[in-house]
């Protein structure tokens, strides 16, 4: 950054400051005023922090976040998981029923043999 404070170029460009860069450019984080203060040769330049609501979700914010859509997605996932769990249980129950039917059929066949003797 140059002393005029315009070294970042395009104002719409995404830029992230690391602590080493803040120190190199003599910046101060002012939490009381919720801003970043740059020390320039002709004074100070203050830049306010963006609020979470001002950032897109792709940037870690909540500007384009749709709670209803997100809740519907989560509900659908939970319903799918529940259906899978119930599907596995019902298959196990079906297998148990088949085993019971086979056992009963075998018992019936054995008792029929006893009657024939």
Tens of pLDDT, residue by residue, the chain (117 residues): 444 445 555 555 566 678 888 888 888 999 999 999 988 888 999 988 877 887 777 777 788 888 888 899 999 999 999 888 887 554 455 555 566 666 666 555 555 555 554
Give the burial class of 83: count Cβ atoms within 10 A of its Cβ; 0-12 exposed, 13-18 middle, 19 or more buried: exposed
> Which pLDDT does position 77 carry in this prediction?
93
Query: Are residues 72 and 42 part of one domain?
Result: no
Query: Are residues 77 and 56 part of one domain?
Result: no
Query: Are residues 105 and 75 part of one domain?
Result: yes
> Which pLDDT does position 52 carry in this prediction?
80
**Helices (H) and strands (E) in the chain — how many of each?**
2, 3
Residues near 5 by Cβ (< 8 Å), separated by ≥ 6? 38, 40, 45
Range of the domain at 61: 1-65
What is the rounded distance in angstroms from the CA atom of residue 30 to the CA atom of residue 37? 7
Query: Are residues 42 and 81 part of one domain?
Result: no
pTM as predicted: 0.39
Domain stops at, among 30, 47, 65: 65
Which DSSP state fits 28?
A: E
> Which pLDDT does position 11 carry in this prediction?
57
> Which pLDDT does position 19 carry in this prediction?
84
What is the rounded distance in angstroms from the CA atom of residue 43 to the CA atom of residue 49? 20
> Which pLDDT does position 10 carry in this prediction?
53
Q: Are 35 and 47 in contact (CB under 8 A)?
A: yes
Query: Are residues 56 and 4 part of one domain?
Result: yes
Instruction: Identify any residues that bridge with 37 across adjacent strands, giving them in sequence order.
Output: 28, 46
Residues near 28 by Cβ (< 8 Å), separated by ≥ 6? 36, 37, 39
């Amino acid at each position: 950054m140059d002393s005029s404070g315009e070294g970042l170029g395009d104002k719409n460009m995404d830029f992230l400051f690391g602590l080493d860069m803040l120190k190199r450019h003599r910046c101060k984080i002012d939490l009381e005023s919720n801003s970043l203060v740059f020390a320039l040769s002709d004074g100070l330049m203050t830049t306010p922090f963006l609020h979470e609501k001002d950032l897109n979700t792709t940037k870690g914010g909540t500007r384009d976040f749709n709670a209803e859509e997100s809740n519907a997605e989560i509900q659908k996932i939970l319903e799918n998981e529940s259906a899978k769990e119930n599907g596995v249980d019902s298959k196990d129950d079906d297998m148990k029923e088949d085993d019971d039917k086979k056992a009963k059929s075998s018992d019936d066949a054995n008792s029929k043999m006893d009657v024939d003797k």
